[in-house]
Amino acid sequence: MRIAIEDAEHVARIAGLRVGELHIDGLVRWTQERLQQLRLPGMEPYIELLGQNTPFGRQERERLLVQFTTGETYFFRDLGQIDLLSSTILPELIARRAEARTLRLWSAGCAAGEEAYSLAMLVDELAPSLTGWNVQILGTDINTQALERARRGEYRDWSFRTLDDARKQRYFRRHGDHWLVDQRLRDRVTFRSVDLVRDPFPDAATDLAEFDLILCRNVFIYLDSDATDRITSKFARALADGGHLMAGHNELFGHDTTPLRVRLYPQSAVYQRTTQPPVEVSPGAALAQVQAPTIATGRHAISIDRKPTLNEARAFSPPPPLKPRQDCAALMKQAWRHADGGMREAAEHDCHQVIAIADLDHHPYFLLAQLAQERGDVAQAKALLSKVLYLDPSFIAAYLELGGLHAQTGDDDRARRMYETVRSALAKLPPQTVIAPYDKSTAGEILGYIERLLAEPRPVPPPVATAISRAQPGA
Ligand SMILES: C[S@@+](CC[C@H](N)C(=O)[O-])C[C@H]1O[C@@H](n2cnc3c(N)ncnc32)[C@H](O)[C@@H]1O
C-alpha cells in the first residue's frame, strides 16, 4: 500500500521525531517497509502499535528513533560546557548538598555512555571533597543496543577524540583494540532505558526524580517542538530544588522553560530550578558585564526568570569557550589543507577544535566523514554524514556521499533514495550554482552525473570519486 506524507508525519509525531522536508521521503519509505515486514493491512494498526504502552509499542518507537537519529557521542564533548560543569555547576551543587551528602546526576539520551562516564570523571576529580557521599549517575537512552555498549564500558579511540591523554590513562586501560572504563567510574554509573518523550517522570517509584543535574545534549535536535516542550517540562519537575538542566547549545532557545530560571554563562546557558528569589541584575548591564573579558571565566552568569530574548540568546550562543568563532573558518581551511596533504591526524585534530568551539557546525563532521571513508570506516562515515544532515538538512554533498557509501555496501535502495533527493534538490537550483564543498562542480554538472548513476541498474559510483573531485573550500 502507498503511504501518504501525512501518514509519515503522524508516525513521526507519535514518537516526537522531527522530520525535516528532506527526510520525509525516507520516513515514508521506512513506514512502508515496516508495514510489509509486520504484514499489517494498513496505517491504522501501525499507528495503534506505535502508540501502545506495551513492550511491542516501545520496541517499535525505539526502532524508529534509532533509524532516524544518530548515537554520535564522545568523552568530554563540548569542552566549554565541561569546563562550566567542573568549575562552577558541580562545585555549586556539592556546596548545596553538603548536609545531605548525596548527588544525583542524569545523562538523558546518553547513547553509548560517554557523557555519563564524563560526569563520573568530573566527580572523581572533585573526589577529595566527596568521601562518604552517595553519588549516583544515571545514563538513559531509548537505544537498548547503545545502552549495552555503555554497560560494557568498552570504547574505541574515536570516543576519545577530545579527551586529554592524562585522563585517558587515568580512567581507562587498554584491552585489545579498545579501552575499558575503570571500575571506580563504573561503580558510580548505571544505565537503563528511558523514552524521554513517552515515559512518565518525575516518578519516585522508578527513581526518575530529585536530580541535581540533568544533561540532555544533542537530543532535542532530533525531536519536534512539542516533544521538546513536554520533555523540558518533565525535566523541570524531575529536578531537585537548586538542580540544573543543561542542553546542547541553542537547543532550548525559543522554548518556554518556565519555571526554570535561565542562567547565561559565557560557555553555555543552564536552566535552574530554584525557589530562591533571583539576584536582580538589569539584563543590559549584566550582558555587558558577562561579555567583559575579565569575568568570562565560567564563574559568572546572569540569571533571568523569563525566556531570553533573541539578542540575549545570540549573545551567548554558541559560546566562545576556547577561541573566537571566526577561527572556525580558518581552522576548517587548515583542516582541508592537512587532509589534502595526507596529514589525517592533523586534519582530525583541526576538526575537533572546530567542534569544541561550535558543536553545531556541520563542516567539521563532513570532513571527518571523508577521513573516515579514507580509513575504510564506512559505518563511521555514514554516522558522521547523518550528523551533517541533521545539522544542515540542505547540505547536498552529504546526501551525495551517503548515496555513494550505501551503493558501495550493496544497499542500492538507500543509495537510489539519496541520489533522488540530490536530484530533486539540484533541479531546483540554477545550473551554474557551485555546490559546496565541491568548489569546482556546479549544480548542472552534478545533476548530469546523478542522472547517469540513476539510469544504471545499480547506482554505484566509480570507486574513487572521480566525477566530482573532492574540493576544499577556498583552496
Ligand atoms: C547524538 S546522541 C547524544 C549523546 C550525548 N548526549 C552527547 O551529547 O554526546 C542522541 C541520543 O538521543 C537518543 N534519543 C533520541 N530520542 C530519544 C528519546 N525519545 N528518548 C530517549 N533517547 C532518545 C538517541 O537514541 C541517541 O542515542
pTM above 0.85, yes or no: no
Q: What is the pLDDT of residue 389?
A: 87
Whether residue 33 has pLDDT greater than 80: yes
Query: For the chain, which residues make up each domain, given as ranges?
Result: 5-68, 79-316, 327-455
Q: How far apart are CA 214 and CA 245, in angstroms?
A: 5
Question: What is the pLDDT at residue 413?
Answer: 86
Confidence of residue 295 (pLDDT cuts 50, 70, 90): very low
Q: Give CATH for domain 79-316.
A: 3.40.50.150
Question: 198-202, 210-214, 250-254 — which is least confidently predicted?
Answer: 250-254
pLDDT of 431 > 70? The answer is yes
Place 166 in a pLDDT band, splitting at 50, 70 and 90.
Answer: very high
Question: Rounded to the nearest 10 degrees, how much is the dihedral formed by the CA atoms of 52, 53, 54, 60?
Answer: 60
Which residue lies with its CA nearest to atom 14 of ligand 1?
109
Mark out the alpha helices in 292-442 (DSSP H runs): 310-316, 327-340, 344-357, 363-375, 378-391, 396-408, 412-427
pLDDT digits (tens, 9 = 90+) for 228-244: 999 999 999 999 999 99
Instruction: Name the DSSP class of 434.
Output: B
In this predicted structure, what is the pLDDT of residue 293?
24
DSSP secondary structure of 146-163? HHHHHHHTEE-GGGGTTS
Higher pLDDT, 123 or 346: 123
Q: Per CATH, is 327-455 categorized as 3.40.50.300?
A: no
Rounded-to-5 percentages of helix, strand, coil across the chain? 50, 15, 35
Q: Does residue 474 surpass a pLDDT of 70?
A: no
Q: Phi and psi (nearest 5°) for 140?
A: -130, 155
What pLDDT is attached to residue 284? 35
Overall average pLDDT of the 358-373 stretch: 88
- Kindly give the distance from the C-alpha atom of residue 146 to the centroid of ligand 1, in angstroms, as a whole number: 10
pLDDT band at 376 (very low <50, low <70, confident <90, very high): confident
Q: pLDDT band at residue 1, thresholds of 50, 70 and 90?
A: confident
% the chain with pLDDT above 70: 86
Closest atom of ligand 1 relative to the 16 alpha carbon: 19
* pLDDT band, residue 326 (cuts 50/70/90): low
SS3 for 53? Answer: coil
Residue with cell string 568498552: 154
| CB-defined site of ligand 1, < 6 Å | 16, 65, 69-73, 77, 109-111, 115, 141-143, 146, 194-197, 217-219, 222
Q: Which of 342, 338, 341, 373 is nearest to 354 (CA)?
A: 338
The alpha carbon of 17 and the centre of ligand 1 are apart by a number of angstroms equal to: 11
Q: Between these two residues, 473 and 276, which has the higher pLDDT value?
A: 276
- Give per-residue pLDDT as tens, 74-122: 999 989 999 999 999 999 999 999 999 999 999 999 999 999 999 999 9
What does the mean pLDDT of the chain come to?
Answer: 85
Amino acid at 276: Q
Calpha distance 82→129 (Å, rounded): 19
Distance 366 CA to ligand 1 centre (A): 20
pLDDT at 277: 61
Q: Which DSSP string corresponds to 187-227?
A: HHEEEEE--TTTS--SBGGGTB--EEEEEE-SSGGGB-HHH
Pairwise CA distance, residues 18 & 16, whole Å: 7
What does the buried/exposed string (b/e) look like for 374-390 if buried means 16 or more CB atoms within 10 Å of the residue's CB?
eeebeebbbbbbbbbbb
CB contact at 8 A, 203 and 189: no
Q: What is the pLDDT of residue 297?
A: 34
Residues with Cβ within 8 Å of residue 72, at least 6 apart in sequence: 111, 218, 383, 384, 386, 387
Measured in whole angstroms, how far is the alpha carbon of residue 102 from the centre of its chain? 29
C-alpha span between 458 and 412 (Å, rounded): 7
The pLDDT assigned to 470 comes to 47
Strand 172-175's sheet: what is its strand order?
154-155, 178-181, 172-175
- Give CA torsion, residues 89, 95, 97, 102, to 10 deg: 70
Using pLDDT thresholds of 50, 70 and 90, give the confidence band for residue 22.
low
- Of residues 282 and 197, which shows the higher confidence score? 197
